[in-house]
Each structure stands twice: as C-alpha cells, then as structure tokens.
Amino acid sequence: MGRGLGVGVGLGATVAVAVAVAVAVAVGVKVAVAVAVGVNVAVAVGVNVAVAVGVGVNVAVGVALGDAVGVGDGVPHGPEA
C-alpha cells in the first residue's frame, strides 16, 4: 500500500510538473507571438506614417517649387506677380 501510494504520488507530481511546464511554454510562445505581432504592427504603422509624411513633404516642396517658378497655371507667381 505504501509503495503503491509512493509511486502514485511520484507519478502525479511528475505529470503535474510536465503539464505546468507545457502550459508555461505555450503561454510564453503565445506572448512571444503577440509581442512579435505587436512589433510588426508598430513597425508597419510607423513606416506608413513615415512614408505619408515623406509624401506630404515632397508634395509641399513640389507645390512650393512650382509656385516659385510659376509653372502649371499660366498665372504669374512669386516676386513677378
């Protein structure tokens, strides 16, 4: 009886530890994946914002240059107006 109980307790502890480790690993992997997805989203959004800002700056510069040289609408612009 004592031996059977001892073996039973030992097996139960082993299974409990194995399950605990498996759950911890699974949760860790899910957290890691979530963090990776979060980083990817943050990077993608950041890059998109940077591109949008870059495009906005390029458009603004293009408009300013066009205005400075008076091209596009045939109406004088700048100092000669």
pLDDT tens profile 24-51: 999 999 999 999 999 999 999 999 999 9
Q: Which two tokens stand for residue 55?
A: 């495009």
Predicted local confidence at residue 68, as pLDDT = 72
Of residues 77 and 37, which shows the higher confidence score? 37
Question: Is the pLDDT at 2 greater than 70, yes or no?
Answer: no
Alpha-carbon gap, residue 41 to 56, rounded angstroms: 22
DSSP tag of 75: S
CA dist 4 → 8, 9, 17 (Å): 6, 9, 20
For residues 31, 35, 36 and 41, what is the CA-based torsion angle, rounded to 10 degrees? Answer: 140
Select the more confidently predicted residue: 31 or 74.
Answer: 31
Q: What is the predicted pLDDT for the residue at 79?
A: 66
Residue 56 in tokens: 């906005």
